[in-house]
Structure 1
């Protein structure tokens, strides 16, 4: 998707392949970079090299990024074809409506097929989404374990420093008493 004002967006919202605003973004799990679903679909290999950084990723490790897509919904867009301005979500809806108005097909038949396809696609994507969430939860749990281990290490270091400070304080006090006794 193009927009007159895409140059003001953070580069993270722009597809590295087509240079348009990300449309149905997919994310490389290895490097975190994103590109449009349609740009991803043009890449046919099982191992795909990220166009942005060159890190290789298995095709099945590149997933739709719905959270990121949701983050983009509030971006302010100026249409590239006219002066229409609104948020990205409404731009997509308007673009879809303009496209559907241009189609010269039987609306009822098309709607039925689209609804059926949509439901099937949603069902097909559900296990992927569950797997993605499970992987995210597993990663978060590992992060929590690492942070807990790090916290315990810092607590032990702090306790050790407190004990050393106490010993130094006692040694200084003993030296002071010894010094005063010799005076």
Structure 2
């Protein structure tokens, strides 16, 4: 420099500043008055140095050749990254390597811990570092007060003042702001500490209450289990009552019952898969004080009729008036599968009870063993599409207990009567048909030639 002092080239002001101040004598000069010291550069090249990577020693001018020959690929011992330049390697270790351990910036204020560079931000939030910050700020404020006294004195004795004073005052203002922020953080930390203590007290109280709550929950669960059991019983009772109500809605007291069977296709599949091989009709009676009966239908057949015929059975049930009724039961039973078309080709079959069978003795249980006609109707006919016996997935079977021993020849007429007619009207029509056929028989006998 013009004043004769030397200064590092990289420490000079930036290119936009034209004036330079010497760091040693404070002499001001133009930037154009500063020249490279080539003599000193030559002296630097002859300096003796030792390689920081091995035992090589020599002058600085030969050091780069040594690095290129002996250490072409420098590797960071902390993170394993490789470099082809010593400068890049040094820059990496100084500022970039995240796995190298560094000393805290506030080591002079009591924070002596060494930290992995990648964890430096977490370290800044530790209590030890925050305390060091507080210590640093207190010392800076103390020095600032002394410096401010000296600055005020200098201002009263001279018209000019050092620009560093302005920079220091700005720094002091920044420190004051930071101090206020730290005080706020300290207050927040105290508040959070109080809230944490309160939360711990609340948690301890809740932990003390927890066994009681668990016991209460267990008692509640036991009560709910009892309620669920009672609810299941009530549901079963309700289902039973509903079935009884449904049965009472279609109950018959004249020994004649028309059984409407819906969802025939589904019931057939249940029977074929043996999920439910048979279904029962609702009970019906011979009279208000008479026999209690029902029908049982095997849609896929029973016994030797299985998979070939539908099996139709009659079941005698226990009733309230069995003590005054006559047993064994010996009245003819007729089954009729309705043809639901105007053709009325009904399927009719009858059987007489075997009075020696237990099926027709006085019932000792809810129901006697079913008895009837195993091969009532061929399955191949009922399974045909468009057959007249199943329409809209529904079929009708009439069960007739014949207490008057109606002739078999008269059964088609009896079963073809309109079920919508009152019973007494049907009985009248049957009597008229019996009289008409008797009269025809008499007339035929009178018309026969005499010998």
TM-score, normalised with respect to structure 1: 0.32
Report the structure, 1 or 2, having the larger strand content: 2
Report the structure, 1 or 2, having the larger helix content: 1
Structure with more contact order per residue of length (Cα contacts < 8 Å, sep ≥ 6)? 1
